[in-house]
């Protein structure tokens, strides 16, 4: 069960900088989050202050506070989501305004003034940004970036989310000893590929692999660690990265 946190650690606050956040209702199935009812921006532990305020201000009649209290009265908790982080104040202001305009039926009093990372809950932010250890590759590694949404669509099965279907150089891919599933810079799965297969997606050739989870000693080397900064280029559209130089000595291990 995911633990509940009420504040970020100092190292996470430093990395977050300014951020834009959402307050959402819990979903009925308990697996995802439901309707977003508030958009805000801030830094530090700003996102947690709404919950603390609701717990101490009984006479506040704002729709935001009423919504928080209704959720708590049901024995549930408000879902706190960091939508984007690592922003300067100006960008955070613009993004907040755009999201207020985009979401319907918010409890915000003020409307939107002007219109590489996935949205994460505060627990996921703490888990991801609080990790200091970076993986050191001791094998030929193929990294494939996946998203929280792609994992959820496959019933939280990371293997199914990462194994297909990718636009990839088959000759390079077949050299990989292990494949890492990477979500928001964090290694969430490690697999040993057995064979690669061709897929046709909308008349375009893509590739996927069949394999199994890597042995325990390999899992310990990589899973739960961050990939290094050079493999986490912001805005990069290509979801695949290799740990070795694919332009030199091609075809040789």
Query: What is the domain partition of the chain in residue ranges?
Result: 10-129, 141-242
Span 141-157, average pLDDT: 87
Supply the pLDDT for residue 30.
61
Percent residues over pLDDT 90 in the chain: 50
SS3 string, 182-205, reads EECCEEEEEEEEEEEEEEEECCEE
The C-alpha angle with vertex 124 and arms to 123 and 128, in degrees rounded to 5, equals 120
Q: Which of 15-29, 95-109, 162-176, 198-212 has the lowest mean pLDDT?
A: 95-109
Q: Does position 140 have pLDDT exceeding 80, yes or no?
A: yes
Taking alpha carbons only, the member of 186, 188, 191 closest to residue 133 is 186
Tell me the per-residue pLDDT of 54-80, one tens digit each, with 9 for 90 and over.
Answer: 988 777 778 899 999 999 999 999 999
The per-residue b/e assignment along 176-212, b for 16 or more CB within 10 angstroms, e otherwise, is bbbbbbbbbbbbbbbbebeebeeeeeeeeeebbbebe
Please tell me whether the overall predicted TM-score, pTM, comes out greater than 0.85 for this model: no
Q: How confident is the model at residue 28 (pLDDT cuts 50, 70, 90)?
A: confident
Supply the pLDDT for residue 22.
95
Span 119-133, average pLDDT: 76
Supply the pLDDT for residue 252.
44
Q: Which helix (H) or strand (E) holds 99?
A: helix 89-102
Q: How confident is the model at residue 237 (pLDDT cuts 50, 70, 90)?
A: low
Q: Does position 31 have pLDDT exceeding 80, yes or no?
A: no
Q: How many residues does the chain have?
A: 253
Highest mean pLDDT among 125-129, 133-137, 215-219: 215-219
């Amino acid at each position: 069960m995911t633990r509940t946190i009420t504040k970020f650690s100092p190292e996470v606050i430093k990395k977050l900088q300014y951020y834009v956040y959402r307050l959402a209702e819990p979903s009925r199935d308990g697996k995802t989050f439901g309707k977003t009812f508030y958009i805000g921006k801030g830094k530090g532990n700003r996102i947690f202050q709404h919950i603390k305020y609701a717990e101490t201000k009984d006479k506040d009649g704002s729709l935001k506070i009423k919504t928080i209290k209704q959720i708590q009265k049901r024995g549930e908790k408000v879902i706190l989501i960091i939508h984007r982080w690592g922003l300067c104040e100006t960008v955070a202001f613009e993004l907040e305004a755009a999201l207020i305009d985009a979401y319907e039926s918010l409890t915000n009093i003020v409307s939107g003034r002007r219109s590489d990372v996935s949205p994460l809950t505060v627990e996921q932010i703490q888990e991801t940004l609080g990790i200091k250890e970076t993986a050191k590759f001791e094998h030929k590694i193929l990294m494939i970036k996946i998203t929280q949404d792609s994992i959820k669509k496959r019933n939280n099965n990371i293997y199914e989310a990462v194994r297909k279907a990718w636009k990839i150089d088959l000759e390079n891919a077949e050299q990989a000893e292990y494949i890492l599933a990477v979500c928001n810079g964090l290694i969430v799965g490690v697999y040993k590929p057995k064979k690669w297969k061709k897929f046709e997606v909308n008349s375009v050739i893509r590739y996927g692999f069949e394999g199994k989870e890597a042995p325990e000693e390999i899992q310990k080397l990589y899973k739960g660690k961050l990939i290094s900064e050079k493999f986490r280029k912001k805005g990069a559209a290509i979801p695949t990265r290799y740990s070795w130089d694919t332009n030199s000595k091609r075809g040789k291990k």
